[in-house]
Structure 1
């Protein structure tokens, strides 16, 4: 019984010595750095920018969708009526502005000219009547009342001629510049209302903002929604990265853009190419779900290693192993906003 116990003690001692050696001696510059982490992606909750009842939901959990694909719709009859009403108001304003810009019609000018001629003729008749009545009044052949009536008729005829001449001048001059500017402003306001109504109508449709997979279908047709009510949860398939943690001693060797090889337990015979795309500027304690109890108190830095995933095999939360040749030179440009390099689909290592 003593030999097995001695053997176990020897193995434990060797393990402790190995742990102490690797803990006290930094990683050699020519060796590979191995990090452990989990596959991570972004998710987004999709909601309508509107308040209405859902008409239809066109996708199910697990469906792969493309950017711009129609996912769900709201009832739109009320919004369509608002668009139609706004469009009718715009047409009315356009017609009113066109009428002002066109000015008076030739028929209106001819009518105003005729009115001036008629008023001038009535003035001539009133003047002649007044002169005859005045002569008769001087000879005592007409009463003072008749003379007053003739004078009033003459004054009225003169005023009517001025009114007709002013109407002719207005017809020839056309609309005032202020009236035209007012009509333009009202037309712009109605066009803005039409654009708003069209935007509200377009908001009755929910489209995919990016390629991804429907992770959760939260609401169903008939449910009432608002901009604060998510309808679907979309898991974005690009970018995909492994969230790992590295000690401070290797930070100087983690250069953005450094290539890496990623393996998973789900596909042990397959390797995925990747690159270091992000190193956290601040330290944190080792996550409890990543390391053992002894290592939880060590400060580490989060590292984000982007992965080429053309076949969509890597999924959220999948454990992964990242191998980085820390002695290598930077071979590719760091990804912008997590986007994979153009040849990512061809760079997968089988």
Structure 2
């Protein structure tokens, strides 16, 4: 009986080990589709949006940077002077427009009215003198040159009164609508020039467009930069995906949004949550860098599998294996898929 009990215990241990082994390493039918690929390398060439001498570069090769982080600056003295000049032009145009909208000052109108009244009195005096000289000329009691002088003085006084009256009417009416529109357009142009100068000043800073890792630092402080000359080569890390390939017979087992799991030889036994994000609409020959059980000459379709990398353990270019289970559910289109719970 003792040997029977020992044999029964051994049988139970073997059965338990078999069950555990089967759960941890499913059969080929349970494992579903297995693809091979690499973490895709996506790189951005970063350059300043303006020309100038580089004053400072803060990022080094291999450094992780965040979106919006300042990576370098140009010498901005010329650009600051341009902003100050543009701001002064805006103030000048704004003051001119405000003066037109305010119209003539009361003091100016009062002065013109007084000048018109004075001109009227002068005109009456000139007219009286002219009338008297005319009567004397008819009686042959005045020389002809006195008549000419009186007539000229009377005409000059009349013209002066008309000019002063016109100036008073303009002051009372205020500026023309077209003049105000032109002044407003001048102000808008000055404001646009100030915005452009401010944007050029902002462009003296080089910002990281996304999270990533500096792969190459091409220029150094003191070099001349331009929009055509890259300063950094930035490797993007988000979103991270694996570039894999599926052959035509297994293409029907894969669909966009399908849940998958990614594993790497660098982290044995660890699986990274993933999902199928893109399937190429056209076939191509298997790239030589991809190892699959199929022949090299077989046609395959490129598959982009997005993968969650919360601890930044996966590196760009790392060889990986993609596991797609049969009947695996699709990830939700709402929220961050990496925050959604799922089990293999």
TM class by shorter-chain length?
A: 0.7 to 0.9
Specify every segment of 5 or more residues in structure 2 that has no aligned partner in the other structure, as ranges. 1-26
Equivalent residue number for residue 267 of structure 1:
267
Equivalent-residue separation in structure 1 for 2:269 and 2:28 (angstroms): 27
Give the structure-1-normalised TM-score: 0.86
1:342 equivalent among 313, 321, 336:
336
Equivalent residue number for residue 114 of structure 1:
114
Q: CA offsets per residue over residues 125-145 of structure 1, 9 Å max, x none? A: 101111222232233321111
Are 2:35 and 2:292, in contact at CA under 8 Å, matched by a contact in 1? no
- RMSD (Å), alpha carbons: 2.2
Equivalent-residue separation in structure 2 for 1:210 and 1:348 (angstroms): 28
1:121 counterpart SS class: helix
Please tell me whether residue 187 in structure 1 is matched to residue 197 in structure 2: no
Equivalent residue number for residue 48 of structure 2:
48
Equivalent residue number for residue 76 of structure 1:
76
1:316 counterpart SS class: coil
Please tell me whether residue 287 in structure 1 is matched to residue 287 in structure 2: yes
Equivalent residue number for residue 10 of structure 1:
none
2:101 counterpart SS class: helix
Please tell me whether residue 331 in structure 1 is matched to residue 330 in structure 2: yes
2:175 counterpart SS class: coil
Please state how far the C-alpha of 1:329 moved relative to its aligned partner: 4.3
Q: Which runs of 4+ in 1 moved over 3 A?
A: 27-31, 291-294, 345-350
Are 2:93 and 2:187, in contact at CA under 8 Å, matched by a contact in 1? yes
Superposed counterparts of 1:88-107, under 5 Å: 88-107=88-107
Equivalent-residue separation in structure 2 for 1:137 and 1:153 (angstroms): 17
Q: CA offsets per residue over residues 44-65 of structure 1, 9 Å max, x none? A: 1111011111110011112221
Superposed counterparts of 1:212-291, under 5 Å: 212-291=212-291
Q: CA offsets per residue over residues 23-76 of structure 1, 9 Å max, x none? A: xxxx98755111111111422111101111111001111222111111100010
Are 1:40 and 1:240, in contact at CA under 8 Å, matched by a contact in 2? yes
Specify every segment of 5 or more residues in structure 1 that has no aligned partner in the other structure, as ranges. 1-26, 336-340
Structure 1 residues 253 and 316, CA, compared in 2 at 3 Å: closer, same or farther?
same
Equivalent residue number for residue 302 of structure 1:
302
2:49 counterpart SS class: coil
Superposed counterparts of 1:193-208, under 5 Å: 193-208=193-208
Structure 1 residues 73 and 319, CA, compared in 2 at 3 Å: closer, same or farther?
same
1:196 counterpart SS class: helix
Equivalent-residue separation in structure 2 for 1:346 and 1:164 (angstroms): 84
Equivalent-residue separation in structure 2 for 1:106 and 1:166 (angstroms): 17
Q: CA offsets per residue over residues 90-128 of structure 1, 9 Å max, x none? A: 110111111111111101111110111011010011011
Equivalent residue number for residue 161 of structure 1:
161
Are 2:259 and 2:328, in contact at CA under 8 Å, matched by a contact in 1? no
Structure 1 residues 229 and 212, CA, compared in 2 at 3 Å: closer, same or farther?
same
1:295 counterpart SS class: coil
Higher mean Cα deviation, 34-43 or 289-298?
289-298
Equivalent residue number for residue 133 of structure 2:
133
Equivalent-residue separation in structure 2 for 1:332 and 1:296 (angstroms): 32
Structure 1 residues 329 and 266, CA, compared in 2 at 3 Å: closer, same or farther?
closer
Please state how far the C-alpha of 1:330 moved relative to its aligned partner: 2.8
Are 1:270 and 1:349, in contact at CA under 8 Å, matched by a contact in 2? no
Are 2:48 and 2:203, in contact at CA under 8 Å, matched by a contact in 1? yes
Are 2:33 and 2:253, in contact at CA under 8 Å, matched by a contact in 1? no
Structure 1 residues 172 and 187, CA, compared in 2 at 3 Å: closer, same or farther?
same
Equivalent-residue separation in structure 2 for 1:177 and 1:292 (angstroms): 78
